[in-house]
Amino acid sequence: MRIAIRGLGELCITAGLVLLLFVTYELWGTGRYTHQQQDRLGKELLNNWRSQRVTTEHVKLGSGLAMIRIPRFGTKYKYVIVEGVDLADLRKGPGHYPGSAMPGQIGNFVVSGHRTTYSAPFNRAAELRDGDQILIDTRDKQYVYKVTGRKVVQPTTVEVTAAVPFKPKDKPTKRLITLTTCNPKYSAAQRLIIFGELSAELPRRA
């Protein structure tokens, strides 16, 4: 009896240690994969931009589309935005919702990213204030968006990804950006949405 109880206790302690290690892996171990993928995608994207433009430019799911910089998060903050928002896409970095507008276009350029795990590109999204810049570099231009608002919504609130957020039937006239991420941190109960609007177009920065 005593042996059984001791064995059970030891098993519980072991399970606890394994769980701790798993949490460590989730929060920091997963970032290593994202960093590798970001390095690769960044090089691919720059090579692609340097080469001749093909007449019908179509970004494949899972490959790089644009570069995002947010000065509020520091000068080193830079991620390649991938096309697609599947689990596999978001592991590589922030993902662009296929079908939503491309950077600089009239409509809504919608990007989703991890708040925690996988290098957590949008970890500090809640710190963004109205007027903060979101810089999107593409082949030709850098689009400077300014934050215009934010909102916490339910995960099923698809209206925020519409060309005109919350008015899915309206015809878009503005050039908007929308960032979506998890809320609160370490949970997926809600979504934190950051809205922005194009304020300037500059020459591209690599």
Partner 1 sequence: MYAWIWRHLPGQWPLKTAAAAALVAVLATVLWYVAFPWLEPKVQFDRGVINTPSAPATPDRR
Is the Cα dihedral 85, 89, 92, 96 positive or negative? negative
- Report if residue 18 touches partner 1, rule: CB under 8 A: yes
For residue 22, the minimal CB distance to partner 1 (Å) is 6
- Report if residue 160 touches partner 1, rule: CB under 8 A: yes
Among 128, 163, 181, 195, binds partner 1 (CB under 8 A): 181
- Report if residue 166 touches partner 1, rule: CB under 8 A: no
C-beta of residue 81 within 8 angstroms of C-beta of residue 69? no
Query: Kind and range of the H or E element at 31?
Result: helix 30-50
For residue 74, the minimal CB distance to partner 1 (Å) is 21
- Catalytic residue among 91, 114, 115, 175, which? 114
For residue 161, the minimal CB distance to partner 1 (Å) is 5
- Report if residue 161 touches partner 1, rule: CB under 8 A: yes
For residue 26, the minimal CB distance to partner 1 (Å) is 7
Among 79, 134, 191, 196, binds partner 1 (CB under 8 A): 191
- In order, the DSSP letters of 142-179 are EEEEEEEEEEEE-TT-GGGGSSSTT-TTSPP-SEEEEE
Burial 99-132 (b: 16+ CB within 10 A, else e): ebbbbbeebbbbbbbbbbbbbbbbbebeebeeeb
Among 34, 37, 142, 180, binds partner 1 (CB under 8 A): 180
For residue 17, the minimal CB distance to partner 1 (Å) is 9
Contact residues for 175 (Cβ-Cβ < 8 A; gap 6+)? 101, 104, 105, 106, 107, 109, 143, 197, 198
Is 114 a known active-site residue? Answer: yes
Size of the chain, expressed as the number of residues it contains? 206
- Report if residue 103 touches partner 1, rule: CB under 8 A: no
Residues between 106 and 145 with contacts to partner 1, criterion CB under 8 A? 112-118, 122
Please list the active-site residues.
114, 182, 191
* Interacting residues toward partner 1 by CB under 8 A: 7, 10-11, 18, 21-22, 25-26, 29-30, 61, 84-87, 90, 95, 97-99, 112-118, 122, 153, 155-158, 160-161, 180-182, 186-188, 191-192
